[in-house]
Chains A and B, each alone.
Chain A
Amino acid sequence: MSLTVILGALELGGIFAILSLGLYISYKILNLPDLTVDGSFTLGCAVGAVTTVGGYPFMGLFLAFFSGCLAGTVTAILITKFEIMPLLSGILTMTGLYTINLIVMGDLPTISLFLKETVFTPFQSLYPYGNLIFIVIILVILVFLLNTFLKTQVGLALRATGDNEDMVRASSIDADKMKLIGLAIANGCVALAGAVFSQHQTFADINSGVGMMVIGLASIIVGMSILKSDKILFQLIAVILGSVVYRGLLTVALQIGLPSSYLKLLSAVLVVIAIASTNLKRRKKRC
């Protein structure tokens, strides 16, 4: 395997680690399966691409994060105020976002960023490691921020909400507000990943979000089974590790000659096997 292939895998693994960190908040901390992800990832791609075309690639990252927060907020409102079940709420937001994303992209299914200045441009002097260095910087900042946030009083309340909602309501914590904060941050991260992804790939595609929820989930499961820890910091690192390992596995599969169109099926099957094996093990223990 050439250096380019390995670096490519690491870079993509890093980008999807941003997404997985977001999913860690919604899926692991809040215990909410959030399907908004597929839509908010594309939203991030679209916002990131449009701002890059406009000449503000870094601004694009912030705007993407912010737009993702909005998408998460919409889902949270559907869940808490309108009492629509979480899975359906996510699907509804995701479906609605398809139109929003097309509007953002000016009714074009793809936007090319070829030869445009992106967030990676300033790091080209460090070729071939520039891209990876930038992604690592983002991950370090993100892990630091999330780890600090989850240790604040709000962070503690957020974790308790996913753990035992009855207890949270009986402790004068607004569980609905916690879900809103959590889903906003989660989708903000996902959209940020989308923006970095589109600038890394130098194009944005209206369908790039399909299956992102599964990719994030697979990363979390893989990571948590490699690095088992109760400490938040190590769990965050585990998620990143999982994302990189998972991307590595896919890269190997592609190198061996698997058609790239098989990737989504492979991801889905992997998640099924991972979840099923832990559940079956538990059932065996009970007998």
Chain B
Amino acid sequence: MLELKNVKVVFNEGTVNEKIALSSVNLKLEQGDFVTIIGSNGAGKSTLFNAISGAIPTVEGEIILGQQNITDLPEFKRSCVIGRLFQDPLKGTAPSMTIEENLSLASQRGKHFSLKLFSHKHKQEFKKALANLELGLEERLETKVGTLSGGQRQALTLLMATYVTPELLLLDEHTAALDPKTAEKVLEMSEKLVKEHNLTTLMITHNMEDALKYGNKTIIMKDGNIIAMVEGEERKNMSVDDLIHLYSSTTHEYTDRVLLKQ
């Protein structure tokens, strides 16, 4: 499904500030895999996402999605088949346009943008989709997105990213900026949508519990490398403490919680 072969990303190449953000990352995912990614700041998690989505260029390696080699495709072409959510809930929607207009754009994903006049004929479909979010947004199609709360906007972004079913969904700490209750709701919505469409998904999180609770695989990253992958039985029987222990022993970063336990 998604395959990364020796993907390397270097920032400020050839200068004194040169930094290897991703060093020869290899990863192979099957259709329907839901992978959670953990790792400290600067481990290369977001860089990995940016490389996959085409926001930054790779120095070496190949990225294959489905049957297609997308390594050299521009960002906007890749986004025909890749849905993305950012940590910043304001990044995924156009604030001065209405909910309906935003959804209309999302429903055109991967299609040709023509001179066809914007019409309200998809209104019922939009309403139905919005009703699934259970936020009451279905009654507010004419509302400017800029007036919605962060949680509402992130939920709307989630809907927009999956409205036309993507081949790959990238969730970059998409609930980190929301309050705990809203965060949980958006996470549950994400899981529901992922299951519904059997989406191949990558999710970055800093929450160890979420890392285990959601998905079927967990990856630990450090210094631009994938240093561990947990899946199958091992993952099923793993407790949060086990994961923290694994994280600490592989990354050599000991947190208070781990030290206290010992």
Residues of A with C-beta under 8 A to B102: 160
Q: Of A154, A156, A164, which one neighbours B104 at CB under 8 angstroms?
A: A156
Whether a CB of chain B sits under 8 angstroms from the CB of A153 is yes
Tell me whether A164 and B95 are in contact (CB under 8 A). yes
A172 to B76, CA, bound (A): 4
Taking the complex as formed, is B80 at the interface, i.e. its CB lies under 8 A from any CB of chain A? yes
The answer to whether A170 touches B117, judged by C-beta atoms less than 8 angstroms apart, is no
Give the contact-size bracket for chain B: 35 or more
**Residue A175 interfacial (CB < 8 Å):** yes
| Among B95, B105, B110, B160: residue with most chain A CB under 10 A | B105
A interface footprint on B87-125 (CB within 8 Å = 1, 0 otherwise) = 000111111110001101110111001111110000000
Judged by a CB distance under 8 angstroms, whether B86 is at the interface is yes
In the complex, are the beta carbons of B75 and A169 less than 8 A apart?
Answer: yes
Which residues of chain B in 74-88 are interfacial with respect to chain A, using CB atoms and an 8 Å cutoff?
74-77, 79-80, 83-84, 86
Complex Cα–Cα for A149 and B113 (A) = 12
Q: For residue B114, give the distance in angstroms from its CB to the closest CB of chain A.
A: 6
A83 interfacial contact with B, CB 8 Å: no
Q: How many A-B residue pairs have CB under 8 A?
A: 86
Q: Are B94 and A173 closer than 8 Å at their CB atoms?
A: no
- CB-based contact A173/B105 at 8 Å: yes
- A 165-185 binary contact with B (CB < 8 Å = 1; else 0): 011111111110000000000
With CB as the reference atom, state the residue of chain B lying closest to A152: B115
B144 interface residue per 8 A CB criterion: yes
A260 at the interface (CB under 8 A from B): no
Q: Which of A152, A163, A171, A174 contacts B118 (CB 8 A)?
A: A152
Name A171's contact: one of B74, B86, B160 (CB within 8 Å): B160
Say yes or no for A148: interface residue by CB 8 A criterion: yes
B137-150 Cβ-contact flags toward A at 8 Å (1 or 0): 00000001000000
Closest Cβ–Cβ distance, residue B49 to chain A (whole Å): 11
| Interface contact A153-B114, CB-CB below 8 Å | yes
A contact residues around B75 at 8 Å (CB): 169
Chain A residues lying within 8 Å of B55, measured Cβ to Cβ, are: 169
A229 CB, nearest partner CB in chain B, Å: 12
User: Which residue of chain B lies nearest to A160 when distances are taken between CB atoms in the complex?
Assistant: B94
Q: Which residue of A lies closest to B84 (CB)?
A: A170
A156–B79 CB distance below 8 A: no
Residues in B whose Cβ lies below 8 Å from that of A264: none
Q: Is the CB of A166 within 8 A of B86?
A: yes
> Is A8's beta carbon under 8 Å from chain B?
no
Cβ contacts under 8 Å, A149 to chain B: 115
**Is the Cβ of A152 less than 8 Å from the Cβ of B95?**
no
When the two chains form the complex, which single residue of B53, B92, B97, B115 contacts A154, counting CB atoms closer than 8 Å? B115
- Residue contact A148 to B117, C-beta cutoff 8 Å: yes
* A172 and B110 contacting across the interface, CB-CB below 8 Å: yes
Residue of B nearest to A164 (CB): B94
Inter-chain contacts of B108 with A (CB < 8 A): 153, 157, 171-172
Please tell me if A159 contacts chain B, counting CB pairs below 8 Å.
yes
Min distance, Cβ A215 to any Cβ of chain B, angstroms: 25
Shortest C-beta distance, A124 to chain B (Å), equals 37
Q: Inside 8 A of A169's CB, which chain B residues have their CB?
A: 55, 75-76, 79
When C-beta atoms are compared, the residue in chain B nearest to A157 turns out to be: B113
B117–A151 touching, CB < 8 Å: yes
Using A170-B84, A173-B76, A175-B76 as known contacts, say yes or no to A160 and B117 having CB atoms under 8 A apart: no
Contact B79 A172 (CB under 8 A): yes
B76 touches A164 (CB 8 A): no
CB of B77 within 8 A of CB of A156, answer no
Bound together, the chains give a CA A149 to CA B118 distance in angstroms of 10
Contacts A153-B104, A153-B118, A173-B113 supplied; 17 other A-B pairs, CB < 8 Å: A152-B114, A152-B115, A152-B117, A156-B97, A159-B97, A160-B97, A163-B96, A167-B91, A167-B94, A168-B76, A169-B75, A170-B79, A170-B161, A171-B106, A171-B160, A172-B110, A174-B74
Ordered nearest first, which 7 A-B pairs have the shortest CB separation?
A163-B94, A172-B80, A160-B94, A172-B79, A164-B94, A152-B115, A153-B113
24 contacts between A and B (CB under 8 A): A152-B117, A152-B118, A153-B113, A153-B116, A153-B118, A154-B113, A156-B97, A156-B104, A157-B108, A159-B96, A159-B101, A160-B105, A164-B90, A164-B91, A164-B95, A166-B86, A167-B93, A167-B94, A168-B76, A170-B79, A172-B76, A172-B80, A174-B76, A230-B144
